[in-house]
């Protein structure tokens, strides 16, 4: 990791550097990318996918001005679960505080919104049963979107598949087992059990 940090320092001289993902939480493996965001004084935003010391970078470089005023905060919430490796001018801490305030102010889904989402799951399940290309597309669409819907129903902020699946496995092993079963094979009964579980959550977390 030291060679990667030296490359980022020598190439961009950032005022602040965030590392998130597997290199931040200690789960990095041989195929893991180095996920990071660097704040620089000026210049255009860039995406660096260089390979350094055998590791592929997934480094986003942003001028500090990108985070002044309005910006799409939801796209950067991942930084809250990362590490602020260095912060030379306080801009990193300021960005984290702004993102935390945004996250804490997010309203929970209303009961009506939750019902609408679960009704969508049921509709997708029915259409997925066609067996044609569109039906198969809807099958996978349902599987992808229903993980976030499950988080909504449980009052948890969706943080992408990796963190959400870890949470689901630890906090709701029954749900994790149902979801994993539905993911693992094209089985209508398994997908039905997963959707039925989501419908049961409408009455409150089980």
State what percent of residues in the chain have pLDDT above 90: 82
173, pLDDT greater than 90: yes
Tell me, what's the pLDDT at 204?
Answer: 66
Q: What is the mean pLDDT of the chain?
A: 94
User: Where are the chain's structural domains?
Assistant: 2-104, 111-201
What is the DSSP secondary structure assignment for residue 90, as one 8-state letter? S
* Mean pLDDT of the 36-57 span: 95
- Per residue in 62-78, pLDDT (tens digit) is 999 999 989 999 999 99
Domain 2-104 is found in CATH 3.30.460.10: yes
| Helices marked H in the chain | 2-12, 22-25, 91-104, 111-128, 133-153, 160-171, 173-184, 188-201
Q: Give the residue among 131, 139, 112 at the shortest CA–CA distance from 195.
A: 139
pLDDT in tens, 82-112: 999 999 999 999 999 999 999 999 988 999 9
Q: What is the dihedral of CA 95, 101, 102, 105, to 10 degrees?
A: 180
Distance CA 165, CA 179 (A): 9
What pLDDT is recorded for position 91? 95
pLDDT grade for 199, boundaries at 50, 70 and 90: very high
Q: In this predicted structure, what is the pLDDT of residue 203?
A: 79
- pLDDT score at 47: 98
Does the pLDDT at position 205 exceed 60?
no
What percentage of the chain exceeds 70 in pLDDT?
99
Residue 85's nearest CA partner among 23, 144, 137 is: 23
Q: How far is CA 85 from the centre of its chain?
A: 21
pLDDT at 28: 87
Q: Write the pLDDT tens digit of every residue in 108-135.
A: 899 999 999 999 999 999 999 888 999 9
Give me the mean pLDDT over the 170-195 stretch. Answer: 96
């Amino acid at each position: 990791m030291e060679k990667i940090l030296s490359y980022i320092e020598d190439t961009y001289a950032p005022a602040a550097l965030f590392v998130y993902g597997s290199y931040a939480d200690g789960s990095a493996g041989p195929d893991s990318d180095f996920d990071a965001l660097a704040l620089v004084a000026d210049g255009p935003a860039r995406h660096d996918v260089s390979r350094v010391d055998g590791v592929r970078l997934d480094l986003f470089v942003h001028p500090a001005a990108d985070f002044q005023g309005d910006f799409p905060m939801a796209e950067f919430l991942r930084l809250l679960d990362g590490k602020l490796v260095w912060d030379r001018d306080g801009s990193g801490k300021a960005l984290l505080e702004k993102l935390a305030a945004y996250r804490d102010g997010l309203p929970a889904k209303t009961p009506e919104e939750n019902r609408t989402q679960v009704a969508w799951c049921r509709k997708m399940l029915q259409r997925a049963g066609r067996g044609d290309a569109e039906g198969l597309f809807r099958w996978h669409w349902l599987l992808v979107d229903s993980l976030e819907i499950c988080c909504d129903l449980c009052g948890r902020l969706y943080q992408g598949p990796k963190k959400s699946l870890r949470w689901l496995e630890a906090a709701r092993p029954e749900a994790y087992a149902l979801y994993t079963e539905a993911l693992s094979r094209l089985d209508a009964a398994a997908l039905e059990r997963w959707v039925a579980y989501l419908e049961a959550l409408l009455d409150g977390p089980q």
